[in-house]
């Protein structure tokens, strides 16, 4: 399968899962603000790895998503016109937390002057 087709499928899976997560009424999902950061489908379309970030308990969010994976997969089958609907595997994505940690470290390192501008550009 051509890479550009897989890229389009990856984007479509991530987008449709983000929409489907908003409609679920599972408390483990609604109590944690979950955002799908990306999805990657295997070349044979049998497995999709979905990376997500959340505000709240990561383990609880992963449990809720695993519990609702059948519903989410059914929604994907309805929305996407694929011969095979992939099984879903959810992986927590720590990139947002990592970026926030780096931003905090940079704020401590780079001193600010009185008007809120950093002195680094001068």
Instruction: List pLDDT tens digits, range 47-81.
Output: 999 999 988 888 998 999 999 999 999 999 999 98
Tokens of 104: 């905090």
Give the residue among 49, 55, 59 at the shortest CA–CA distance from 17. 49
pTM of the model: 0.77
In a domain, 119, yes or no: no
CATH number at residue 46: 3.30.300.20
Which stretches does DSSP call E strand in 16-79? Answer: 33-41, 47-55
In a domain, 120, yes or no: no
Q: What are phi and psi of 68, to 5 degrees?
A: -95, 10
Report yes or no on 37 lying in a domain: yes
Rounded to 5 degrees, what are φ and ψ at 54? Answer: -150, 155
Q: Is residue 98 part of a domain?
A: yes
Residue 116, domain member (yes or no): no
- Which domain covers residue 30, as residue numbers? 3-109
């Amino acid at each position: 399968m051509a890479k550009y087709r897989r890229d389009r499928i990856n984007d479509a899976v991530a987008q449709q899962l983000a929409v489907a997560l908003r409609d679920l009424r599972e408390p483990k999902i609604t109590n944690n603000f979950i955002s799908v950061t990306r999805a990657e489908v295997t070349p044979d379309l049998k497995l999709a790895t979905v990376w997500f970030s959340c505000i709240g308990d990561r383990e609880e969010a992963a449990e809720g998503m695993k519990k609702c994976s059948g519903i989410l997969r059914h929604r994907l089958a309805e929305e996407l016109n694929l011969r095979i609907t992939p099984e879903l595997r959810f992986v927590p994505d720590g990139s947002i937390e990592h970026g926030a940690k780096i931003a905090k470290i940079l704020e401590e390192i780079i001193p600010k002057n009185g008007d809120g501008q950093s002195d680094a550009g001068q």
